[in-house]
Amino acid sequence: MAKAPPSISLLLLLSAAIFLALPAVISAIGVNYGTLGNLPPPTEVANFLKTQTSIDSVKIFNVDPNILRAFAGTGISVVVTVPNGDIPALANGRQARRWVSANILPFHPQTKIKYISVGNEILLTGDNNMISNLLPAMRNLNKALVRAGVRDVKVTTAHSLNIIAYDLNGAPSSGRFRPGWDKGVLAPILAYHRRTKSPFMINPYPYFGFDLKNVNFAIFRSPYKAVRDPFTHKIYTNMYDALMDSTYSAMKALGYGDVNIVVGETGWPSACDAPWCSLENAAWFNKNIIKRSQRQGTPLMPNRRFETYIFGLFNEEGKPGPTAERNWGLFHSDFSPVYDVGLLRNGQGGGGRPAPALPAPSTAGGKWCVAKWGASDAQLQGNIDWVCSQGGVDCKPIQAGGSCFNPNSMRTHASFVMNAYFQRNGRTDGSCNFSGTGVVVGNNPSNGGCRY
């Protein structure tokens, strides 16, 4: 990677000006509607999306009849998903016809079902039984739809970008599908998409594979290290465009560059157990994703509109796993925005809480101290104990009820107190050492009401 040349800085200034000139409400965008948590009923969700947002499509991870009924008559498109475990059975034509009769025909066209995604990220599972039956299931479901007279519902499947053999420093124009999956699995799927005029659906997440030394490249922020493709001489200012063009190059190498691409999932969490998750970073990432869905395109696909589904609609508090899993949402369960990306109509708040004010992204000059990735909980607890007892820092914000208590993790609490000590002591590198467990970063880790 090389630093962005002066011409790129000029382009960034022009891009920022264009971005600020965009209308406050986006014309069209989709979201993934997950349901793990104490969330409002589907009828309220459908009414909120229809009356208060510019969101025109949703993607769900099942075929929940309550959700499908709720969206009837709204004009909002719905993508339904076949559970992964159902795929082998649908390789049987009779079973596929029964599935369509039970899950599509009772609701369509009153509910505007647009796509059926056959499973989700099947190749990532490594399950050979599901992988081998994926395309037969897609073909049978398409045949069942045609047989039932339904020709406006397309069948696809969502792919993780582990299907691409790429590295963080590679040339997007040389992107290729992984050997073994390229000609044996993905070429026949792409041939099916061309024949049925259905889209190739991918889930490009910069969050799951970015260079820790170049975080800003993953979240559309400056300063960053740009990537110059040595073959096309195109310059990439963000990882998302590089992932999209790597996918396009892989498709083109197999002879299917004409097949339409739909972004089934992408996003950035507003909180996690690391400093690169914040309201500001999530908002900035998703604003740029929305901009790219409005015909901005990529270096290899200029002016191309990508139908896009942001992950996700709500913060799903019922999700297990790391903190990030519960913080991908655009909205809280009371419909108030987690942050504002211009999707609310006429500046409506949507719920009981207004979106927090976000400062303009910092481009230079800031320095913060955060816990180094890989530091143990015991080391971080020692840092907290020392700073709070002897470092002259007010640690009330990380106590229960404090502005920085959530997310409640050792890493975020330690990062807050370590940074407070760092700022208090002149922001020198030595004041962020903490026996090798601290690191100075140029990206503000503030999160909502927790100001670093």
Domain 366-439 class in CATH: mainly alpha
Q: What ranges do the domains of the chain cover?
A: 25-329, 366-439
> Strands 225-228, 235-236: parallel, antiparallel or unpaired by DSSP?
antiparallel
Q: State the pLDDT at residue 67.
A: 98
Domain 25-329 class in CATH: alpha beta
Residues labelled as active-site residues: 121, 265
Q: State the pLDDT at residue 20.
A: 35
DSSP conformation letters of 331-360: B-TTS-BSS--S-BGGG---SSSPPPP-PP
Q: State the pLDDT at residue 98.
A: 98
Cα angle, residue 59 at apex, residues 247 and 57 outer, rounded to 5°: 100
Sign of the dihedral defined by the CA atoms of residues 213, 216, 217, 219, in that order: positive
Give the residues of the chain that fall short of pLDDT 50.
Answer: 1-27, 168, 360-364
Partners of residue 370 on adjacent β-strands:
439
Q: State the pLDDT at residue 348.
A: 54
Q: How many whole angstroms separate alpha carbon 336 and alpha carbon 442?
A: 30
Q: How many whole angstroms separate alpha carbon 45 and alpha carbon 314?
A: 10
**Contact of 308 with 292, CB cutoff 8 Å:** yes
Q: How many whole angstroms separate alpha carbon 172 and alpha carbon 184?
A: 22
Query: Cα-flanking dihedrals φ and ψ of residue 205, to 5°?
Result: -110, 100
DSSP conformation letters of 17-35: HHHHTS-SS-S-EEEE---
